[in-house]
Structure 1
């Protein structure tokens, strides 16, 4: 009986939770989500930065190309900060601090990521050593 009551309660509560989870999508878009800045130079800076930032909801789309509500909010943040005179690199760093390294298409070398940058060089070096030894042995026979 207790399990039946819990299951019934969960079924009744599910639509309420689903509506709360999709509440972000029901909000109107941020003012600068789809509206460009009036200054063409500032808009060019904003557009260049937005093309280097990844949408967190979409599969490998920049926030400039994505129609996701979250990408619209990020575009709004970029344009608002550019209009306030903030440096694009400072905006990028702020977004990386807020959302993590995944938000940027330009990877940063950090102690945790240096093996990713060093691995191709190490593999090429090992391949060159193996080939050198292979050709040396082949020439002596």
Structure 2
């Protein structure tokens, strides 16, 4: 269940992250600015149509509702005879902030440094490798 007090704080956070004024957010969602203001104050709850409009405009409704950021990895595949274009996975707040920081690195060399560091951190240590080898031999 969503904590109402943080729900309205997160709604405002997402609006600001989208670089929208209250009036612009209200227009996108098809409501008056006064109504949007009441959403952010917590005196009125937005309906599904408003949340759908936020999502369509690129806002992270999962974060608004749960406090967990979403990450969408887009690719095409056929699933049960239907074409699927996107799969959504949830990121923790820490992971989302790390990804957001990476995306805002302007210098390409700095990005490559972060990428190399992440690859090195993801490599198993020699003790982890030995442990996996012992498990394979035992099985």
Greater percentage in helix = 1
The alignment's TM-score, normalised by the length of structure 2, stands at 0.29
Higher RCO, Cα 8 Å, sep 6+: 1
Greater percentage in strand = 2
The alignment's TM-score, normalised by the length of structure 1, stands at 0.29
Larger C-alpha radius of gyration, 1 or 2? 1
